[in-house]
Chain A
Amino acid sequence: MRTGDYKQTYGELVALIDSPPVWLWSAVLMLALIAAPHVLNAYALTFLMIILITVTGALGLNILTGYTGLISLGHVGFLVTGAYAYAILVSKYHMPPLVGFLGAGLVPALASLVVGAPSLRLKGLYLAITTLAFSFIINTVILEMRWLTNGARGISVQRPEILGISFDSDAAFTYLCLGIATLTLLATLNIRRSRVGRAFVAIRDNDTAARVMGINLHAYKLLAFVTSALITGLAGALYGIYLSFVSVEGFPFLLSIEALAILIVGGLGSALGAVLGTVLIVLLPEATRLVFSLFSAQLDAVFTTGAQELKSMLYGLVIILFLRFQPRGLVGAWHDIRRAWVNWPLRY
């Protein structure tokens, strides 16, 4: 009888997916996501688009904060840089969208070297404040460079056409978001099981011990910043296209906090956690509204006319509840359920 989930070879330990049922469920989920744009109405599809864009951004932050343990309060800075890089290249200089996406990744990656450099000497709260300052500086730079960014007037962005395929419709754009989110998920999962990923985790767990083991802290911390910013920049480009208008106002500081909340609720350091956290945080207000609307039309009206205040309250409440009762997040809860299922009727 199987009494646990034992890895007997090194290959098993680093396998991307370790069991056939997980392959099966992943395939089912992917098929459902492919079918979704044809089944969901335009409103429901906006949630799917937001989830996929947010997953991409959250996975980017997860590399820095979840894997490497470097807290960033200014990730919205990379998000807005990516969005502007795409908008400037595509809308202003009429470059192909693929060049726009390349720029959306590379420009924030270069910017991350500026903010990443202090991280070599700073940790914890001090680093968090540095990244926060970076996001404010980026906003000021964008507003002042009017000749390039149109300042506060913003830049309109059209849905892209890539290699002859138009992503103008919501369904097509959802597929673009799905493709980028899936590639990002695979990339981050692969990073995690590689030498680089193990170095990130070693730095997070104890950077002194990591250094003793021969890990170059400077190089790996900078690499974490660059990778994280690159992915977040891509998410920024997608978000800019979704909004159809890129301006500093469209990227409020609250997005940085929301991203951190996603990682905490999902489970820090886990790609699956970033995905689950995103789904919960994005859908929570709408799900709550739907539940309440079953009981009373008046409660439904309260949710539509006071949506943003209630949303903030719900986020706060969920974070407090998770920190108190499930600090390992949704992934931790999922692991507990799975262990209970496998070991039943035994507890361990």
Chain B
Amino acid sequence: MRDHLRTASLLLTATLLAGGGALAADPGITDTEILIGDVEPLTGPPALLGVAASIGHKIAIAEANNAGGINGRKIKYVLEDDGYVTARTIQGAKKLIEVDKVFAMLGMSGSGQSIAVMPVLEKAGIPTVIDVAPVKLLWEPPRKNVFVVGQSYEEGIIHLVNYLAEKNPGKKWGLITQDDDYGITVRDGFDSVVKSKKLNVVYSGNYKKGQQDFSSDMLQLKDSGAEVFLAGGIIAENIAMMKELEKLNVKPVTGIFWPGRVEPVLKLMGPAGDGIFAVDYVEPFAGEAGKAFLEKAKPLVSEAEFKGINRYTMSGYAAAKVLIAAIERCGKQPTWACTIGELEKTKNVETGVMAPISFGPGIRFSNQKLQIMQADTATVSFKPVK
């Protein structure tokens, strides 16, 4: 009788352990599929970056699926639109985690949106790789499950201003920034170089987000005699500024930042944009790596999506590649804990679109290498500066 009881209890324990194991399996994964979620601004003006980033994710996912998926499981991509509205980003993330039950997350919209969604991601513990808006609050302090691919805005601006200062010694400087978080970051980065290099700043302007007319600002810039100009707009603002300078017949050495370093912007600037400098951590499309990426992307996306490719596609692609590689390394039964562990072990992963990506224990920011590039309006592209 005692033996029977022992056998029965052993069987019960084994069943419970097996059942417990099944119950403990993380969501978003079946025998044939792995779900990856993403929230992006897909409508409204910021869609230019949200759509492009999502195309990058799609390219990496299609590439992996064409190669047989992750250890035999196909990746399914679930995308939510937040329209750049913070409340909707939170709702979108909760929907992906609770309703769609995704296994991992990518993207996470703009800087304010990704900061706001951080408590949701942290509480859920879901593996997440952020790629659209790298801001310090996302990796300082480091969160166990959230990894950021890119470079900080501050470092980007410092790199650009240092380069322009070295190439243009003793020149007069002008700067204009937006009245938001992005603008403050640009200004802080600029100010730090101004102090160290003792730059002569003759014009310093600030404009309200959404401003369309820059005629008076650019007239002031011209009157100040600025010879090097840091245009702190994003898209429409930089176009308006350059067009205005063209009208005033002045052409200072101009630098722009990577959120505006997209080819459609250059096209709209026309000849006014020729020769402007930009800083970025992703490869320019005019370079070998950029051309190779476009070749790779062409058969994997629709024609309309191919036209929507810009630098955010590259950053999205790199983030998705890193995430997919980490899940893959977890073998046949990937879990959140394993994926997070493998993401942490990411070391010099080559994506072909930026410098190799690495994370580490307590390091959740990939800190990408920056490069300077210059606009060529004849080919509507940015070319690397040697």
Contact = CB atoms under 8 A, between A and B. Distances in A.
A94 interface: no
A111 interface: no
Contact of B86 (A46, A243, A311): A243
Given A43-B98, A46-B91, A152-B183, A250 B44 contact: no
A26 to B, nearest CB: 28
A46 B80 contact: no
A250 B81 contact: no
A250 B116 contact: yes
A46 B94 contact: yes
A27 to B, nearest CB: 30
Contacts of B182: 152
B384 interface: no
B33 interface: no
Chain B CB count within 10 A is highest, among A153, A252, A306, A311, for A153
A277 B84 CA distance: 24
Given A42-B94, A46-B91, A152-B181, A307 B112 contact: no
B81 A249 contact: no
A244 B79 CA distance: 23
A153 B181 contact: yes
Interface in B111-130: 112, 115-116, 118-119
Nearest to B117: A244
Contact of B81 (A43, A151, A244, A304): A304
B86 A307 contact: no
A151 B188 CA distance: 13
Interface residues of A, number: 31
A308 B181 contact: no
B67 interface: no
Interface in A12-61: 41-43, 46-47, 50
A244 B122 CA distance: 13
B73 interface: no
Nearest to B79: A305
Contacts of A309: 43-44, 83
B99 interface: yes
A152 B86 contact: no
Contact of B181 (A43, A247, A306): A247
A42 B115 contact: no
Interface string B217-237: 000000000000000000000
B87 A311 contact: no
A186 B94 CA distance: 31
A156 B116 CA distance: 8
Given A152-B179, A245-B112, A250-B112, A306 B81 contact: yes
**Binding site secondary structure of chain B:** helix
Interface in B273-296: none
Interface string B67-82: 0000000000011111
Contacts of B44: 308-309
A78 interface: no
A156 B180 contact: no
B115 A245 contact: yes
Nearest to B115: A245
Nearest to B182: A152
Contacts of A156: 115, 137
A305 B98 contact: no
Given A156-B115, A307-B43, A243 B87 contact: yes
Chain A CB count within 10 A is highest, among B78, B79, B83, B137, for B83
Contact of B83 (A43, A46, A239, A311): A311
A305 B55 CA distance: 13
A306 B180 contact: no
B98 to A, nearest CB: 4
A243 B90 contact: yes
B368 to A, nearest CB: 23
19 contacts: A50-B91, A140-B179, A143-B179, A151-B184, A152-B182, A152-B183, A153-B181, A153-B184, A242-B87, A242-B90, A243-B86, A243-B90, A244-B90, A245-B112, A304-B79, A305-B42, A307-B80, A308-B83, A309-B83
Interface of B: 41-44, 78-88, 90-91, 94-95, 97-99, 112, 115-116, 118-119, 137, 179-184, 208
Given A245-B115, A305-B79, 17 more contacts: A43-B94, A46-B91, A140-B179, A146-B184, A152-B182, A154-B115, A243-B87, A243-B90, A244-B116, A245-B116, A249-B180, A306-B42, A307-B42, A307-B81, A308-B42, A308-B88, A309-B43
